[in-house]
Amino acid sequence: MIYFVRHGSTDWNDNKNAEGISCPRCQGRIDASLNEAGITQAGKTKDMLKDIKFKRIICNPLKRARQTCDIVSNRTAKIEIDACLIERDFGEFEGLARDEFDFNGFWNSNSNQKFARAESIKDVEKRVFELLDELKKNPDDDVLLVSHGGVGRVVMSYFKGKPKDGNYLTFEIPNGSPLILDLNEIKGK
């Protein structure tokens, strides 16, 4: 089984606009720390997963994911750091709130948008799918993956199939929540 955990909240995840409405900022490669809510979320996830004996624990190198992994993991395995799980590079959109650019188009694989520096969905798929293909060789191992929302969307597409309309935003994973996926039940790819 794959236990995918999106990192806990940061101040940029909890950003609100001038009207007080939730409007997260894009924090692809920014090395932000968890805020108090994120620490609490990770603690709740730890309680949910406390009885799992992970064969592997894989985390990406960004601080918010590492902090979440340190809280959530039950240390039944050594924590492996793997850049395949790093968040999508938002490039020129890094730090912008979702309402400050075409966020929906950015996450639509059918969009013809060209980016100056941002990473394409296809590039994220390539690196994440390679890791999942490796893990699929041992489908009965319990593996904890700690990463980000964008990577979680791609992980979901591996298991459930790419969205027919191209809209990866249909695969939303809340901060600090576990997603349990069976490597023996892949409908995607």
At 132 the pLDDT is: 97
Would you say how long the chain is, in residues? 189
* Band of pLDDT at residue 19, cut at 50, 70 and 90: confident
Q: Is the pLDDT of residue 189 over 70?
A: no
Burial of 25 per CB tally in 10 Å (0-12, 13-18, 19+) = buried
For tokens 């009965």, name the residue: 140
pLDDT tens readout for residues 90-112: 999 999 998 899 999 999 999 88
Return the domain boundaries, the chain.
Answer: 2-181
CB neighbours of 129 closer than 8 A, spacing ≥ 6? Answer: 154, 158, 189
At 118 the pLDDT is: 96
| CATH number of the structural domain 2-181 | 3.40.50.1240
Half-sphere exposure of 26 (CA within 13 A, CB side): 22
Distance CA 65, CA 80 (A): 12
Residue positions annotated with a catalytic role: 7, 87
Give yes or no for a contact between 72 and 134, defined as CB atoms under 8 angstroms apart: no
Residue 93 CA: distances (Å) to CA of 26, 42, 51, 159:
7, 27, 40, 28
Give yes or no for a contact between 6 and 175, defined as CB atoms under 8 angstroms apart: yes
* Band of pLDDT at residue 7, cut at 50, 70 and 90: very high
